[in-house]
Amino acid sequence: MKKTLLITSMIMGGVFGSLTAQAASNVTLYGIIDIGVAVQKAGGQDTTVNMKSGTRSGSRWGIKGVEDLGNGYSVGFILEQGFNSDDGSVGNKWKDKKGEEVSGAFNRESKLYVQGDFGQIGFGRLGSLAGGAQSNNMLTGWALGTSYDAGSWTNFAKGNGRLNNAVAYVSPEFAGFKLSAMYSNGTNEDGAKWSDNIHYYGIGAQYTLGGFKNSLIFEAVDNKGVAATANSNTAYLINLGLGYDLGSWTPMFAYQYNWQDEGIKDHVFGLSSAVKVAGGTAKLGARYLLGKNDGAAQGAEDKRRAWTLNAAYEYPLSKRTLTYAYAGYADGSKALKKDVTKAMSQKDALRYNGFSFAVGVVHNF
């Protein structure tokens, strides 16, 4: 009897000890699976019908956790891996300075952070301030966000995506305002010395109070160490996003100006809205691009023009599952007309010319 009680106590002690350790470290496994069917035609290319992953939300799984250090301080981490749900392959690959495709175990985000009364400071592979994804994202003003391929703000406008070797600071919120700053000591790989890396600098302000959700973001990429044939001048971005929740609908306005000496200079305008309809949410948006390429070859068209119309409907089937439908149309002219973009990949050409229809299901776990 005594032996039985001893063994039982040891087992129960081990179970409760394990539960206590898990509670203390507060580690969570999470993810999103997005799968659907897309019909697309771009730049004079053939119409395609494909099973597609990540039309609305990039499929991913991740682990995150936080530990309380006491006195208002804590340390946490986010490790997130992208994948393609249609074939199980690795997603969110990026290109190094040689143009070769690279991937990693936690390619969406790999972040260690410390936070307290001073705010939060994080290190690792991070999403840029105006990249539209990950925990440091500040981008607002476009109802479709960075979802729906051709409907994504950072597909039509310019985006700096995810950054390696990055450090980011986020201030505490004060009267609805929050400030962020980010630096990357090499956006795509480590170099032998500082001048061999491409560096990113970003600063932004976000105002979220009542129905307002506004942001203003400035970013620069210095292009040090790019290939000798590429434009090595610094590229700049300004993103302004405005929105106000009126209850049944939320009107939004987005604007971006991106420029580079001897390169592209674009103004991008977007008007959009999220509207509650029949138990779901309809998202509608129109954009216009007005730009010029100062680096165009002599005699080539240097003016850039394009516009898009986008619509999506999302209906929740449960707290963790929703179904969606999307339709988008893009039309480019001048340097972005169809006979130019048809030489691009379908994904790139859809930004400026063609149409896309998609239906799918997203499950969160």
Residue type, 144: L
Q: What pLDDT score was predicted for residue 157?
A: 96
144, 148, 258, 271 from 158: Cα distances, Å:
15, 16, 7, 17
Spatial neighbors of 263 by CB under 8 A, at least 6 apart, are 231, 233, 235, 293, 294, 295
Question: What is the spatial distance between Cα 88 and Cα 59, in angstroms, rounded to a whole number?
Answer: 10
Query: pLDDT class for 15, splitting at 50, 70, 90?
Result: very low
Q: Does residue 11 sit within a domain?
A: no
Cα–Cα distance between 108 and 137 in angstroms, integer?
13
Residue 13 φ then ψ, to 5°: -65, -40
Query: Both tokens of residue 273?
Result: 């809205």
Q: How far is the C-alpha of 311 from the C-alpha of 255, rounded, in Å?
A: 19
Band of residue 25 on the pLDDT scale cut at 50, 70, 90: low
Encoding tokens for residue 299? 């005699």
Instruction: Indicate the Cα dihedral angle 348, 354, 359, 363, nearest 10°.
Output: 20
pLDDT recorded at residue 178: 97
280 within domain boundaries: yes
Residue 100 lies in a domain: yes
Q: What average pLDDT does range 327-339 have in this prediction?
A: 95
How much is the pLDDT for 229? 78
Structure confidence at residue 189 as a pLDDT band (50, 70, 90): low
Q: Residue 170 sits in which domain range?
A: 31-364
Q: What was the pLDDT predicted at 261?
A: 97
Least trusted range by pLDDT, from 74-83, 179-188, 319-328: 179-188
What pLDDT, on the 0 to 100 scale, is given for residue 18?
Answer: 44
pLDDT score of 186: 84
Q: Which of 183-187, 207-211, 264-268 has the lowest mean pLDDT?
A: 183-187
> What CATH number has the domain bearing residue 327?
2.40.160.10
pLDDT at residue 356 is higher than 90: yes
Number of domains within the chain: 1
Q: Which of 5-19, 33-47, 74-88 has the lowest mean pLDDT?
A: 5-19
Residue type, 23: A
At position 234, the amino acid (one-letter code) is T
The answer to the question of residue 19 being in a domain is no
- What pLDDT score does 11 carry? 41
Is residue 271 in some structural domain? yes
Please report, rounded to a whole number, the percentage of residues in the chain having pLDDT higher than 90.
78
pLDDT-derived band at 342, boundaries 50, 70, 90: confident
Which pLDDT score, from 0 to 100, does residue 200 have?
Answer: 96
Q: What pLDDT is recorded for position 148?
A: 95
How many whole angstroms separate alpha carbon 80 and alpha carbon 234? 30
pLDDT tens for each residue of 259-271: 999 999 999 999 9
Given a cut of 60, whether residue 205 has pLDDT beyond it is yes
Looking at per-residue pLDDT, the higher value among 9 and 152 belongs to 152
Domain annotation covers residue 10: no
Q: What is the pLDDT of residue 99?
A: 64
Q: What is the pLDDT, as a whole number, of residue 255?
A: 98
The position carrying tokens 């048809």 is: 342
Which residue from 204, 208, 217 is spatially nearest to 256, judged by alpha carbons? 217
Is 135 exposed, middle or buried, given 0-12, 13-18 or 19+ CB atoms closer than 10 A?
middle
Mean pLDDT calculated for residue range 241-249: 97
CA neighbor of 130 nearest in space, from 198, 224, 212, 201? 201
Rounded to an integer, what distance in angstroms lies between the CA atom of residue 162 and that of residue 131?
Answer: 7
Q: Exposure pattern of 15-28 as b/e (b: 16+ CB <10 Å)?
A: eeeeeeeeeeeeee
| pLDDT at position 364 | 98
Query: Phi and psi for 97 in degrees, rounded to 5?
Result: -65, -20
Assessment of whether the complete model's pTM goes beyond 0.95: no
What's the CA gap between 356 and 152, in Å, rounded?
A: 12
Q: How far apart are CA 228 and CA 353, in angstroms?
A: 31
CB 55 within 8 A of CB 34: yes
> If 0-12 CB within 10 Å is exposed, 13-18 middle and 19+ buried, where does residue 349 land?
buried
Residue 91, token pair as written in the block: 């997603």
Cα–Cα distance for residue pair 347/52, rounded to 1 Å: 12
DSSP H helices in the chain: 2-25, 153-156, 338-341, 346-349
Q: Single out the residue of 355, 353, 310 nearest to residue 333, CA to CA.
A: 353
Q: What is the pLDDT of residues 125-168, one digit of tens each?
A: 999 999 999 999 999 999 999 999 889 999 999 999 999 999 99
pLDDT band at 195 (very low <50, low <70, confident <90, very high): confident
Residue 16: inside a domain: no
1 inside domain: no
Residue pair 229/240 in contact (Cβ under 8 Å)? The answer is: no
Query: What are 279-295's pLDDT values in tens digits?
Result: 999 999 999 999 999 99
- Sequence letter at residue 63: I
Token digits of residue 96: 């190094």
Report the distance separating Cα 230 and Cα 341, nearest Å.
Answer: 20
Of 93-97, 160-164, 265-269, 318-322, the poorest mean pLDDT is in: 93-97
Helix and strand numbers, DSSP H then E, in the chain:
4, 19
Whether the pLDDT of residue 19 is over 50: the answer is: no
Q: Name the average pLDDT for the chain.
A: 90
More confident position, 99 or 238: 238
